[in-house]
Structure 1
Amino acid sequence: MLRHLDIRDMLIIDRLELAFQPGLNVLTGETGAGKSILLDSLGFVLGWRGRADLVRAGAAQGEVVAEFDLPAGHPAFAVLEDAGLPASDELILRRINTPEGRKTAWVNDRRVSGEVLRALSDVLVELHGQQDDKGLLDPKNHRAMLDEYGDLLGQRGKVAAAWRAKSAAAKALAAAEKRLAEMRDEEEFLRHSVAELDKLAPEAGEEAELDAKRRLMQAAEKMRADVAQAISALGLNGAEGALSDAGRWLDGVVEHAEGRLEMPMAALERALVELGEAQAGVASFAERLEFDPAELEMTEERLFALRGLARKHNVLADDLAGLAETLSTRLAALDGGEAELKQLQAARDREDEAYAEAAAELTAAREKAARALDRAMGAELAPLKMDRAVFETRRTEAPAGPDGVDAITFTVATNPGAPSGPLNRIASGGELSRFLLALKVCLTSDQAGLTMIFDEIDRGVGGATADAVGRRLADLASGGQVLVVTHSPQVAALGAHHWRVAKSVEEGITYSRVLPLSQDERVDEVARMVAGDTITDAAKDAARALLKG
């Protein structure tokens, strides 16, 4: 409940403090006196997006402070908790604005963003303003309103999740079908290439080995003679024989050399060992030089086959093995593509079925909520002197989407036997105001602790009808708080608390003042609303009669 509103330096308001009360609070005054500025200022501190030029001319900044009382369990506590803000039964919102348009806000002395203010405003205040009709009259908004009225947001979320899953399954299937179609276009190439690569069975590093082997075999004839001479030079007729002879000769004298030949003899033995290793290595190499001439031909054929296939696929010969694996994988995917498609089609069908089931459940719930809303509207219209009017929530089929398969439209028939149609086409100005009042009441009936603000909800009506609107507003305010900006004396007279908004010029500067009215002052104000600028005794008598109820 809004307890206090403090406005400083906003447009033509220099300083204004208002202490609102429970029940029906009415604000009256001449057109242009500043009633809309009052609502603009309240909207500013609540984070609503509105006009930017709110700061009073010559002021360093504009400031608005709003204080609310929060009963236990009020939904504002959840918003405060989510934002990490301290909470108590008193909520203080403060927001300042500079002439340059820089805005800063606090909640309970903690700096916050405009998003936090707007989240709080959603559970603190419900405004029906002169421009608010567009939201209620636009059929695009009716489905969301019905879902909120019927507490169907959870079911709508389930449908949205099912729609996302359905869309993802369809997308996966389409992508697989596209991939498979592309692979089918190259199926002949894949099968031929995989068969060719499998037949050759290339290995990484094989080209270098074959090239080295080929060069060795090509040079083998010349090397064979040189290697044979080397073997001869290292053998018994060469180095081995000479070293062996030297060893025998030294054996005959070593015992008389008094140890001086021990080191040379050891070195000679090592030389014989090294010589043996050299002989073995050369002999092994000589064996490699012995090959069948057909082997050279086979080596060259495979080397040329590897290089030719590498050129064909525009890769290095060493990359042929990897290419073979890649192409084999693609071919396997092609061969298994039909099975994958069947799996994806089955998944798509399951998601389609799950979405259809969730959407059907939401449709049934919407139809039930629509009947409940129609009954509630019927009960609301009767005391507004529209007991013969019929409000109907219509559901028609809509293209499937994340919000289901339903289009929702609020329609009315204002007289028996008259055709029904959209609110803004069927209802007259006065009828429209009453329909919208009833609809607003129904849509917010379960929002405890909500301050409801009506800006000229009574426009287009007068006499007994205006009285009926005022009495409905009073009934609505009996369990909470309602603020009404009105030009109707019948509505103003039913207020529990009354403020007059007036404009004055002081030293060439225009100011807007808001004053609480005493009972006698209320008589004068209601009389002014009845008679205009010239207040007669008859107007005062009419005002007293209205105030007595």
Structure 2
Amino acid sequence: MLLTLYIENIAVIEKTSIDFNSGLNVLTGETGAGKSIIIDAINAIMGQRISKDIIRTGEKTAFVSAVFDDINDTVKRKLTELGFSGEDDELILQRTLSAAGKSSCKINGKPATASMLRELSLNLINIHGQHESYELFSPETHINYIDSYAKSENLLNAYKEKYKEYKILYKKLNEANTDESERLREIDLLSFQSDELAKADVQIGEEEALEAERNSLMNFERIFSLLNKAKMMLDGEDSNGGAEAVDVASSAMQSAAELDPQYEELSSSLTDIYYNLKDCSESISDLIDNLESDPERLEEIEERLDLLNRLSRKYNCPCDELPEYAEKIQSRLDELIGYDKNRDKLIADCKSAEDAALKAAKELSDCRKSAARTFAKKVKSEMKFLNMPNVELVPEFEKIELSPDGIDRVEFLISANPGETPRPVAKIASGGELSRMMLAIKTVLADTDTVDTLIFDEVDTGISGSAAEKVGLKLKEVSKNRQVLCVTHQAQIAALADYHYLIQKQVEQGRTFTSVGLLDHDGRKNELARIIGGVNITEAALSHAESMLLQYDN
């Protein structure tokens, strides 16, 4: 669960550290106090895209750190996959944002990327905000809830592999079904290209070898002069070169060594140097003897390099890749020439792949339909508890052609009132109904989800009174098995909190500062009274707040 959240220089928050707890953690505060900033900071630590405008005015960087404890096995496995130690129960995520637009991330003190934070956060935190409720307006998202409930990931992945194989073969078959004139035109073009590359017979490494040989031929005179100079310095004009001088020095040291053994090692070294120099002299002589000026060969090399360069430009690939390109051309040419034979095989292979994909899709669809009935029943039960007693929820399946997600198009149809025919969510659901429907879905999915921390941002939108109380009770129920953080404006929900945090702002010396603090009993009473009664807190509001706290006293 999320143990500590530290925020520095995010919007109006200069510095604050919040210690969260297990159970239901509620955050309240006046409009504009900075409740959304807490969610923004959590999104940042989850690796989400964050605008640099969120950095506090006048500061160059912002920093967010989150400490999690008792992390689950799924998170530990993901840590290991990402190259980090997955043995500890504690996890520390950090992210620094720069006004220059860059950011840096760390996982347990080691450098990481934002994408790594995103991968980890999928199994750490689930944020449900107001915008997510409106996703229910899009039927294409409904199938994801059923897949999550059905735990059909393995079936879905197996289907996608079969679908991918089918689409590859289907594409090849379409390519093979081009009209005859197009096929003959392509055969003509590829035949010319294949012949051209075959005649060129380009070899891997040929261009580099030719350039080296050309360089040698073009610098013949300069190389000849340098080799002669080297030989002269070693041999000398009258046998008085470097080698002979070393030989004289070697003889002198040998005579000295005969008089005193301490000079033997140096004498031996000079002797070795002399013979090495003589070997070098002989090697240089061989090089001079083999050195040739061959204008005709130089012309041949220039012509060959010109051909290689033209082919490289024509086929838009490096010279060393031309042999591989020639093989691809020949392979495609063979396919076109063997059109009828290849086409019959492609038809058979494509039909076989389609059948395999359809079989996998049918298995996935059956799993979804079975899970959808149970899922809808459970969600409906949760919605009834949330003051929607007459709700009807129907998962409508439509069979479609093979698609990346199978053969199902799924849409939840809803009826909130007796006698009404279930219709698409977007046509009849109000904001409050959407919020409760999404909370019901999250409640049902919580039993199958491995995420330990659920965050609800203003889940009470569009509701009040007993409906708000029911939402609070449901959040309380979910928090028995998951850590729940909830940003709310409803006193009925706040009164049910295990831990209540107040977000408030103050202006000092012309600058706005936001702080977050854990409230004690009296603090909670005053905050509930403010929510109930507004700016002027009356004794009646305080009394009502006290009774609410006593009613839900844990």
Compute the displacement of 1:72 (Å). Answer: 4.8
> How many equivalent residue pairs?
408
Question: In structure 2, do the counterparts of structure 1 residues 169 and 521 end up closer, same or farther at CA, with 3 Å as the change threshold?
Answer: same
Compute the displacement of 1:529 (Å). Answer: 0.5
Percent identity of equivalent pairs: 34
Q: Does 1:363 align with 2:362?
A: no
Partner of 2:138: 138
Q: Is the 8 A contact 1:33 1:503 kept in 2?
A: yes
Q: Does 1:516 align with 2:554?
A: no
Partner of 2:508: 506
Q: TM-score, normalised by structure 2?
A: 0.70
How far, CA to CA, are the matches of 2:354 and 2:99 in structure 1? 55
Partner of 2:479: 477
Partner of 1:29: 29
AA aligned to 2:174 is A
Structure 1, unpaired ranges of 5+: 188-328
Compute the displacement of 1:448 (Å). Answer: 3.2
How far, CA to CA, are the matches of 1:142 and 1:40 in structure 2? 26
Question: In structure 2, do the counterparts of structure 1 residues 72 and 500 end up closer, same or farther at CA, with 3 Å as the change threshold?
Answer: closer
Question: In structure 2, do the counterparts of structure 1 residues 532 and 330 end up closer, same or farther at CA, with 3 Å as the change threshold?
Answer: closer
Q: Is the 8 A contact 2:134 2:434 kept in 1?
A: no
AA aligned to 2:26 is V
Superposed CA deviations along residues 273-325 of structure 1, whole A, max 9, x for unmatched, are xxxxxxxxxxxxxxxxxxxxxxxxxxxxxxxxxxxxxxxxxxxxxxxxxxxxx
Question: In structure 2, do the counterparts of structure 1 residues 462 and 174 end up closer, same or farther at CA, with 3 Å as the change threshold?
Answer: closer
Question: In structure 2, do the counterparts of structure 1 residues 50 and 102 end up closer, same or farther at CA, with 3 Å as the change threshold?
Answer: closer
How far, CA to CA, are the matches of 1:11 and 1:111 in structure 2? 25
How far, CA to CA, are the matches of 1:13 and 1:333 in structure 2? 68
Partner of 2:536: 534
Superposed CA deviations along residues 121-157 of structure 1, whole A, max 9, x for unmatched, are 1111111112222334321222233222211122122
- Say which SS state the counterpart of residue 390 (structure 2) adopts: coil
Q: Is the 8 A contact 1:466 1:491 kept in 2?
A: yes
Partner of 1:454: 456
CA RMSD of aligned residues (A): 2.5
Partner of 1:176: 176
- For residues 345-384 of structure 1, the aligned pairs below 5 Å read 345-384=347-386
Q: Is the 8 A contact 1:172 1:344 kept in 2?
A: yes
AA aligned to 1:80 is L
Compute the displacement of 1:182 (Å). Answer: 5.7
How far, CA to CA, are the matches of 1:83 and 1:177 in structure 2? 45
Question: In structure 2, do the counterparts of structure 1 residues 332 and 51 end up closer, same or farther at CA, with 3 Å as the change threshold?
Answer: closer
- Say which SS state the counterpart of residue 515 (structure 1) adopts: strand
- Say which SS state the counterpart of residue 388 (structure 2) adopts: coil
Q: Does 1:435 align with 2:437?
A: yes
Compute the displacement of 1:417 (Å). Answer: 1.6
Question: In structure 2, do the counterparts of structure 1 residues 342 and 61 end up closer, same or farther at CA, with 3 Å as the change threshold?
Answer: closer
- For residues 278-293 of structure 1, the aligned pairs below 5 Å read none
Partner of 2:237: none
Q: Is the 8 A contact 1:130 1:456 kept in 2?
A: yes
Partner of 2:6: 6
AA aligned to 1:537 is E
Q: Is the 8 A contact 2:460 2:488 kept in 1?
A: yes
Partner of 2:43: 43
Partner of 2:111: 111
Compute the displacement of 1:338 (Å). Answer: 3.6
Partner of 1:15: 15
Partner of 1:128: 128
Partner of 2:75: 76
Question: In structure 2, do the counterparts of structure 1 residues 115 and 330 end up closer, same or farther at CA, with 3 Å as the change threshold?
Answer: closer
Question: In structure 2, do the counterparts of structure 1 residues 362 and 80 end up closer, same or farther at CA, with 3 Å as the change threshold?
Answer: same
AA aligned to 2:392 is V
Question: In structure 2, do the counterparts of structure 1 residues 186 and 419 end up closer, same or farther at CA, with 3 Å as the change threshold?
Answer: closer
- Say which SS state the counterpart of residue 469 (structure 1) adopts: helix
Which of structures 1 and 2 has the bigger CA Rg?
Answer: 1
Question: In structure 2, do the counterparts of structure 1 residues 497 and 346 end up closer, same or farther at CA, with 3 Å as the change threshold?
Answer: same
Q: TM-score, normalised by structure 1?
A: 0.70
Q: Does 1:162 align with 2:154?
A: no
Compute the displacement of 1:344 (Å). Answer: 2.4
After alignment, is 55-64 or 533-542 more displaced?
Answer: 55-64
- Say which SS state the counterpart of residue 473 (structure 2) adopts: helix
Compute the displacement of 1:173 (Å). Answer: 2.8
Superposed CA deviations along residues 460-495 of structure 1, whole A, max 9, x for unmatched, are 111111111100001110122100100000000000
Question: In structure 2, do the counterparts of structure 1 residues 136 and 90 end up closer, same or farther at CA, with 3 Å as the change threshold?
Answer: farther
- For residues 185-224 of structure 1, the aligned pairs below 5 Å read none
How far, CA to CA, are the matches of 1:120 and 1:185 in structure 2? 53
Compute the displacement of 1:22 (Å). Answer: 0.3
- Say which SS state the counterpart of residue 131 (structure 1) adopts: helix
